[in-house]
A and B are shown apart, each in its own frame.
Chain A
Amino acid sequence: MPMIEIWTQATLWIALAVVAALLAVGLRIATALSEIAVGILAQLVIGVLFGSALLAGDASWIKFLAGAGAILLTFLAGAELDPDVFRKEWKRATAIGLVSFAAPFLGCAAIARWVLGWSMEASWLAGIAMSTTSVAVVYAVMLEFGLNVTRYGKVVLAACFITDLGTVVGLGLIFAPFTIKTLVFLGAGTAGFLVLPKITPWFFQRFGGRPSELEAKFLMLWLFGLGALATWAGSEAVLPAYILGMVLAGSVGKDHALIRRLRTLTFGLLTPFYFIRAGSLVSLPALIVAPAAFLVLLGTKLVTKIAGVYPVTRMLRSPRQEGIYTTLLMSTGLTFGTISALFGLSKEIVTQAQYSALVAAVIASAVVPTLIANAFFLPRHLLTTTIPGEKP
């Protein structure tokens, strides 16, 4: 491809990223969400005006930047884990996290298979895409209520990591062919996960802190290397990235300056390509013609998440309203939901119409719980017991 074409396309994609960032600021929403929306609209508008080839979402350089964005974003999500809390509360966290993963996973897979009539593989993928949760969103809720320092808050937060771990493990292994390559990948990955927490802090201390940004290069070396191994084995690159993030959370995750630099690289250059591309592959006409799949999946996710998680928050003696609020916001999961759906499309596990329904349900599962939570529990719930004479 001539360089002039590449620079022109790069300009177009970055222009879309700027529009998406401005939209996110104006609407106070996640940039990932606005980038997906801009991707959907751009494909539609540019496709009608100039032909769909102009956006060139399948160009290899765009695929690389998008893939690198998914890997780094997943790594950063894993690195948010608090290893001390996890060590203390892993039994409870694992129990809640598995319920939070399994309920929507099995529920949505069953609905996709027997109600929507999707293939077995497409149904499993729907289950995975709908099972996710967003740790950071739940963390923000915990901060709001001051629950992040309580045992309840710590257990729920640690549980969110288990839920997302369930998602990436499901994505990485359910569709893997389970050949000798899979064993090689799992063996090499396990060795890496055991060795890296030991050598990384030493390596950074010995060679880091220089303008050459050796830390970022070292991390990307492992992320891309393990990603290549996972892809070779028929698995998915975000699986080792998330686990690597978790095992390095105690060292890399605590280096705030390094995390900020990695965020700059990830949000500034890479993830716009990922989310805009994910949006550009959504077929809006298919979604409008047949919205049932999207609505059914969204409803199932919300119902199964609430049915699975809310009783557990009550068992942990969370105050009722805060338990509902936490549960609702545990239903959001834009990053891993989109990654799962795009994995399904690229591996031809789902059709474009199914992919469109999945992405729409993932987006709605981020928006709808927030609207419900704000409409019913904010800020009225604080005052139900404090305003004399007012009925709760």
Chain B
Amino acid sequence: MIARILLGYDGSGSADSALEFATALARAFGAELHVLAVARPPEVGDDVETLAVVENARSRYDKLLHKVRAKLASESIKTQFHVVVGHPAEQLVRYAEAHGIDHIVVGHRGHTLFERWLIGSVARQVIAYAHCAVTVVRART
């Protein structure tokens, strides 16, 4: 049984596809849907700018989640929305453990070679470290 689903959401095309999938899954299982957006500081940060980046990302995700909340308002499923700061994979895994999540849904999009070398793909890291099942949804082309 799936009682709690966690969706990693960043407003991208693949995240929207993941949202559709997670909503359908929650509907089918009567599960609670947790939507998590992660404001990500620069990999190599500096004074003042790092704070500005985090503030901007938080404000952007607050707005994005507000839209998602409105979109899901007509659904009968129970939802929770959170914005946290950090590395997306780490925060998703940490949240899933803390909230007893049964299934994680994430979108997958391309990364630059540098990003892959530096931190790896978010989806790949979530799959590697999550304690529960993970579904990776690609954007529709």
A residues at B contact (CB < 8 Å) = 24, 26-33, 73, 76-77, 80, 134-137, 139-140, 143-145, 256, 260, 263, 266-267, 332-336, 366-367, 370-371, 374, 378-380, 382-383, 386-387
Contact B50 A139 (CB under 8 A): yes
Whether, in the assembled complex, B75 has its beta carbon less than 8 Å from a beta carbon of chain A, the answer is no
Which residues of A are found within 8 Å of B48, using beta-carbon distances? 73, 76-77, 80, 136, 263, 266, 335
> Cα distance A266–B49 when bound, in Å?
10
Which residues of B are found within 8 Å of A266, using beta-carbon distances? 48
Q: Which of A139, A145, A260 has the most CB of B within 10 A?
A: A139
Which residues of A are found within 8 Å of B62, using beta-carbon distances? none
Contact A140 B85 (CB under 8 A): yes
Q: Which partner residue on chain A sits nearest B115 by CB separation?
A: A28
> Cα distance A157–B39 when bound, in Å?
20
> Cα distance A333–B86 when bound, in Å?
19
B residues at A contact (CB < 8 Å) = 40-52, 54-55, 84-87, 89-91, 93-94, 97, 112, 114-115, 118-119, 125, 129, 131
Q: How far is the CB of A363 from chain B (nearest CB, A)?
A: 9
Contact A332 B91 (CB under 8 A): no
> Cα distance A387–B129 when bound, in Å?
9
Which residues of A are found within 8 Å of B125, using beta-carbon distances? 379
The residue that B118 contacts in the complex, of A76, A336, A371, A387, with Cβ under 8 A, is A371
Q: Which partner residue on chain A sits nearest B49 by CB separation?
A: A30
Which residues of B are found within 8 Å of A134, using beta-carbon distances? 45-47, 50
Which residues of A are found within 8 Å of B93, using beta-carbon distances? 379, 382-383
> Cα distance A39–B103 when bound, in Å?
47
Q: Which partner residue on chain A sits nearest B44 by CB separation?
A: A29
The residue that B47 contacts in the complex, of A28, A336, A367, A371, with Cβ under 8 A, is A336
